[in-house]
Structure 1
Amino acid sequence: MPDSARTTGTTRLRQLGYDIGPPFPLHFVVEGDHHLALDGVFLHRTVKMPPCDDAGVTVEAAFVAYCADVRLIDAIEVGCFLLHKEWMHGDLLDQLLTDAKWRRGAPETAYALPFLDDRPRSMPEAVLLAYVVFSGLLVPEVNLRVEIAPGVRVTPDQWFGRLRAAVEYEGGHHQDDRAQYNADIDRYADYRKHDVAYELVTKERMRTPKTVIRKVHSMLVSRGYDGPPPDFDETWDSLFRPLQELVRPRTRGKR
């Protein structure tokens, strides 16, 4: 690789310690019309290098490159996580998109940007929140510390205050980490004791998003929710479409 090449996209994010995307091909970016064919390496060429350090592009630039090739739900999952961990900064991302609207991935990132939220504490939590929002259900509070009884405070992943209902994501670490496991048991006991309905969503259940949302809706109805049911229409479907298609819709009548 030329000395001026820098890691970008998923390679840069994995380099920083995030298990995002496939490990290969490795993604590098270089300024100028430099052609190089190497097994397991994809060299992106640009007319102007994005912000970078001695090893790779900035997290914001890596995220822009990532968005060029992924679905909306993938961008939401990774973008929310990077914002929550403060590895990516919204103002720097905005500036990058403003200064280089022509850059590969910039239109896709701009499309996804309004849906990014720094409150989910993990990637699965970000995905679960997107499912609820894009299905048209009530928009919950996220990781808000609430008092469900005098002196009893909890921080649900999602909280529907008027209905006294919560949604909790249970990842593998909730069972492997014994302190977390016991804290979860105590929290759910508090929910039951103080008349709070809750829906547990596991990693396995997340594989069937519509089923998850139907269960959340059923719980909300049991607490008096009389709003519209989940709507798995074009808005919902957009979550699972490549950002490239959403930014550049197909010509009517063509497939």
Structure 2
Amino acid sequence: MHTIPSQLQHGPFTRADAARAGVTSRMLQGRRFVRLHHCVWRVTSYNMTEDDWITAARLALPPAAHLTGLTRLQQLGLDFGPRRPIRFVVQGDLHLDLDGVFLHRTRQLAPTDEVGVTVAAAYLSYCAHARVIDAIKVGDWLLHGGHTTVDEIHALALSGLWRHGADEALWILEHLDVRSRSLMESELRPILTFAGLPKPEVNVAVPVGEDITLIGDLVYRAWLTVVEYEGSHHQEDRLQYNADLDRYALFRSADQQYVQVTKERIARPKILVGEVYRTLLKGGYDGPPPTFETQWQLLFRSVSVAVGPRRDRIRRSAPRGAVS
């Protein structure tokens, strides 16, 4: 039995790569190799990473195909959302059926970079299919990380309103906040505002004593209320746990109300909204109570539902024959 060449043992490869390494098509049919896509293989003993699956898809697609949507954003380090299907876009009417890959087609390709379409373009594509709450979380993450800007997204969307996701991205922009420091903070904020509670300040200084300030996650300054998200590390890391005890003691000494929120409490959003509302009342809030009607329901539906039927929007400026 021939030894498998080392250059084929560390990831996916094409049939042409195999041939150059001395592995014939007949040998590829044996048990030591697994077919991933047409003309793309791996050795049976190799465990594929997520990056390997993207590489395999690239090898099976023409060079003109570019990463897009959530897959492109995950390449930035975004740890959110499904990894399948892997999303590519290609200019032209190319039809390929690859397992675990979704190939978008367009007559006018969005701007690209060395990874795929640009981050702003990928966000437009994501917004075309995402729920409102998820588009806010991902948008906040992109802005806070400096991966794109509101102006970049806005300009790209306006330059081609016919594109899938352009109107959706424009609609979502007013709900984003560059100051949000985590995905869960970005989930917590719209849960409160889409229920009709006031919009809080995000990650701002809260005075708690002479020359002492703390940064509050979501701050209702007028009603002396802070809403704090506590990730699991706040409970598992003893140093963090004890620092939190000191932190909340300072809040109490300054008569600063606070609501502590965990992932489990976010999973029961109506109950959470009610607790924040009651805390605001104690601080003197006299605004309307939360409501869980139309605006609230939109939060958990797609952005496209919020902006209305695409057929009524696409007629504005679609170039002839454009698809996306």
What band does the TM-score fall into relative to the shorter chain? over 0.9
Of 12, 17, 31, which aligns to 2:91? 31
What's the CA shift for 1:80? 1.1
Q: Which amino acid aligns with 1:181?
A: Y
Q: Which amino acid aligns with 2:154?
A: D
What is residue 193 of structure 1 aligned with on the other side? 253
- SS state of the match for residue 158, structure 1? strand
What is residue 71 of structure 1 aligned with on the other side? 131
Structure 2 residue 194 is the aligned partner of structure 1 residue 134: yes
Of 183, 207, 213, which aligns to 2:267? 207
Paired residues of 2:123 and 2:139 also in contact (CA < 8 A): yes
Structure 2 residue 72 is the aligned partner of structure 1 residue 12: yes
What's the CA shift for 1:163? 2.0
Unmatched 5+ stretches in structure 2 = 1-60, 311-324
Per-residue CA shift, 1:65-86, capped at 9, x if unaligned? 1111111111111101111111
Paired residues of 1:27 and 1:42 also in contact (CA < 8 A): yes
Structure 2 residue 150 is the aligned partner of structure 1 residue 90: yes
- Separation in structure 2 between the aligned mates of residue 176 and residue 29 of structure 1, nearest angstrom: 42
Of 105-114 and 171-180, more deviation after overlay is shown by 171-180
Paired residues of 2:298 and 2:305 also in contact (CA < 8 A): no
Unmatched 5+ stretches in structure 1 = 251-255
Aligned residues: 250
Of 27, 46, 64, which aligns to 2:106? 46
Per-residue CA shift, 1:34-87, capped at 9, x if unaligned? 110111110001111111113211111111111111111111111011111111
Of 146, 151, 163, which aligns to 1:103? 163
Paired residues of 1:143 and 1:155 also in contact (CA < 8 A): yes
Per-residue CA shift, 1:68-121, capped at 9, x if unaligned? 111111111110111111112111111111111111111211221211111211
Q: TM-score, normalised by structure 1?
A: 0.93
Structure 2 vs 1, CA of residues 92 and 222 (structure 1 numbering), >3 Å: closer, same or farther? same
What's the CA shift for 1:5? 0.7
Paired residues of 2:158 and 2:166 also in contact (CA < 8 A): no
- SS state of the match for residue 143, structure 1? strand
- Separation in structure 1 between the aligned mates of residue 153 and residue 261 of structure 2, nearest angstrom: 32
Paired residues of 2:94 and 2:105 also in contact (CA < 8 A): yes
What's the CA shift for 1:184? 2.0
What is residue 225 of structure 1 aligned with on the other side? 285
- Separation in structure 2 between the aligned mates of residue 176 and residue 33 of structure 1, nearest angstrom: 52
Identity between Structure 1 and Structure 2 (%): 48
Of 56, 71, 94, which aligns to 2:116? 56
What's the CA shift for 1:176? 3.9
- SS state of the match for residue 204, structure 2? coil
Paired residues of 2:195 and 2:292 also in contact (CA < 8 A): yes
- Separation in structure 1 between the aligned mates of residue 308 and residue 285 of structure 2, nearest angstrom: 37
What's the CA shift for 1:152? 2.0
Structure 2 vs 1, CA of residues 38 and 249 (structure 1 numbering), >3 Å: closer, same or farther? closer
What's the CA shift for 1:33? 0.7
Q: TM-score, normalised by structure 2?
A: 0.74
Per-residue CA shift, 1:123-182, capped at 9, x if unaligned? 111111111211122222211112122122111111122222111011123234444333
What is residue 47 of structure 2 aligned with on the other side? none
- Separation in structure 2 between the aligned mates of residue 242 and residue 91 of structure 1, nearest angstrom: 23
Instruction: Report 1:102-251 matches (<5 A).
Output: 102-248=162-308
